[in-house]
Amino acid sequence: MKWVLVGGVAAVPFVLPSQSMVNIAMLTAFSAFLGQCWNIAGGFGGLTSFGHAVFFGSGAYTGAILQTRYGVNPWVGLPAAFLVGGLVGAGIGAASFRAGLRGSYFALVTLAFAEVFRVLSNSLEFTQGGLGIAIPLKVSAWNFQFADRRATYAVVLVLLAVASGVAVWLTKGRMGARLAAVRENEDAAAALGVDIVRTKTWALALSGGLAAMGGVVYGQTYLYIDPSIGFGTERSVEMLLVAMIGGAGTVWGPVLGAVVLHVVADVSRAFIATPGFAPMVYGVVLLVIIAVLPQGLAGVWAQVRGTPGGARDA
């Protein structure tokens, strides 16, 4: 029954007459997808990242460069971006975790990597520097460009379903149990035989690969990517906020967080159009969630249903 209800809600935008409303639904689903990508590493594995935009931007530039410089079909950019994002995640993870970095130190390292990638993309010739990369407009399904936002929404839903499927798998599989053990107590997990470095590197690589696919979708939707869009801190903050507000380490947390975040953003813009007001509201909402609902909105729902901690405890 639960899945039927979820499917019904997800199908509503397909029958909406307004393209603007469909676009809002698409952006909400896209935020939920990116939040779920962060959640795989940051929620289930406790790898709090402040620079997850490094994966998003890597994927966006991979797809854009392959298409504009080498004539590769943009659909091929999706698996290529997954591979590049996974390699970037594995590289950052191997370097960080072998050095024993954890907690706030790891968070700052990811932020530093995102800034390094931003500076490099702003300087290198093949990324077009600060000018960014403009993707030619050629509307067709074969070219991954759609005249109707419903098609883009459908693609984003598929990616969200894949990322959520990974989250469900982590709540039930042995890899998820290892991640939970590492998240709660690394020393105890190591004593039980868990390979700490390999487990955390695997989680960051998977999370990075999925987030990189989101970068390709963004590039094909808006036909432009530059260093600030790809590697800017706003993208990293959005991923973190969505997961934390909804409930990090839960399957439905990023979806709930994305809905709340976009409702807050749209309402705040409707009444107060001051630039920068919406991010300020995001911060207030996050502070309230941390102070009052430390397990996020999904934790509240789990308590209402009578379960102690939902998927996080699993």
Tens place of pLDDT per residue across the chain (314 aa): 666 777 787 888 888 888 888 999 999 999 999 999 999 999 999 999 999 999 999 999 999 999 999 999 999 999 999 999 999 999 999 999 999 898 899 999 999 999 999 999 999 998 999 899 999 999 999 999 999 999 999 999 999 999 999 999 999 989 999 999 999 999 999 998 999 999 999 999 999 999 999 999 999 999 999 999 999 988 998 899 899 889 899 999 999 999 988 887 777 666 666 666 666 777 777 777 777 777 777 776 666 666 544 444 43
- 145 pairs with which residues across the strands? 140
CB atoms within 10 A of CB 8: 9
Domains of the chain and any CATH numbers = 19-312 (1.10.3470)
Inter-CA distances, 25 with 19, 138, 139, Å = 10, 24, 21
**Cβ distance 139 to 147 under 8 Å?**
yes
- For CA atoms 59, 127, 111, 218, the dihedral sign is negative
pLDDT for the residue numbered 311: 43
Query: Rounded to an integer, what distance in angstroms lies between the CA atom of residue 86 and that of residue 202?
Result: 9
pLDDT for the residue numbered 271: 63
Query: Rounded to an integer, what distance in angstroms lies between the CA atom of residue 95 and that of residue 106?
Result: 10
Give the start-end residues of each E strand in 222-305. 224-225
Spell out the residues 6+ positions from residue 88 whose beta carbon is closer than 8 angstroms to its own. Answer: 54, 55, 58, 208, 212
Query: What own/partner pairs with CB < 8 Å and gap ≥ 24 does 268-276 have?
Result: none
**Hey, what amino acid is at 126?**
F
Of 207, 265, 216, 278, give the one whose Cα is nearest residue 239.
Answer: 207
